[in-house]
């Protein structure tokens, strides 16, 4: 009986890892739509968000069932509570990918990101995707050291966001108000994806150690 209960707990973490891979694909495909102006890819991301929402519902149902039927305590309760919070973070990352895709769709057949800004946004997207991939490892292996690496990657994302702001505020900005607004929003979306990745890492640290990590901000 106890073995079946443990398997159910572990299956929730497995589901979280699968959901993380769904989010990584959403971020990747949203970036493709953004930098190519491909409306079909943008629609794929937007419609695919329903799968991420369904994954959240599945994990929540499993968690609430275990809470109700097993009345877990100590480490098991901590795992369930952390899992419920992590699934909300992952769903929000999927929502942010949809926001990126909607900007891409809004500007088609044009491309929302000016050509001179494209390398910067490729880099931001790369950092975001790497962080989501690391989150999957952190959750699957409960790796506290890898969780700390997410903090350092987030610093790189913050630098890129500040750099993007400097570009649109520069007196040499030649693209007008609308692209400047798009760049400000898009930078925020990628930055928030990174922030959620950091938060997920911290939740795993709490799950493993029972202690809330201190922010390095």
- Contact between 164 and 189 under an 8 Å Cβ cutoff? The reply is no
Task: Please give the class, per CATH, of domain 2-209.
Answer: mainly alpha
At 10-57, the pLDDT tens digits run 899 999 999 999 999 999 999 999 999 999 999 999 999 999 999 999
At 54-87, the pLDDT tens digits run 999 999 999 998 888 877 777 788 888 889 999 9
> First and final CA of the chain: distance in angstroms?
45
- The model's pTM is 0.92
């Amino acid at each position: 009986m106890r073995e079946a209960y443990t398997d159910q707990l572990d299956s929730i973490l497995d589901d979280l890892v699968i959901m993380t891979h769904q989010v990584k694909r959403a971020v990747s495909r949203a970036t493709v739509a953004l930098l190519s102006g491909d409306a079909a890819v943008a629609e794929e991301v937007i419609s695919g968000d329903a799968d991420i929402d369904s994954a959240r519902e599945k994990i929540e149902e499993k968690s609430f069932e275990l809470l109700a039927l097993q009345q877990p305590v100590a480490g098991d309760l901590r795992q369930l509570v952390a899992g419920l919070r992590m699934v909300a973070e992952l769903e929000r990352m999927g929502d942010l990918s949809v926001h990126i895709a909607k900007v891409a769709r809004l500007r088609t057949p044009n491309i929302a990101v000016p050509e001179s800004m494209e390398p910067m946004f490729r880099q931001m997207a790369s950092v975001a995707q790497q962080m989501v991939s690391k989150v999957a490892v952190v959750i699957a292996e409960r790796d506290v050291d890898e969780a700390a690496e997410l903090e350092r990657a987030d610093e790189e994302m913050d630098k890129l966001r500040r750099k993007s702001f400097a570009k649109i505020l520069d007196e040499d900005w030649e693209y007008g108000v609308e692209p400047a607004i798009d760049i400000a929003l898009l930078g925020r979306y990628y930055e928030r994806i990174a922030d959620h990745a950091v938060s997920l890492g911290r939740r795993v640290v709490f799950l493993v150690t029972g202690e809330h990590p201190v922010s390095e901000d």
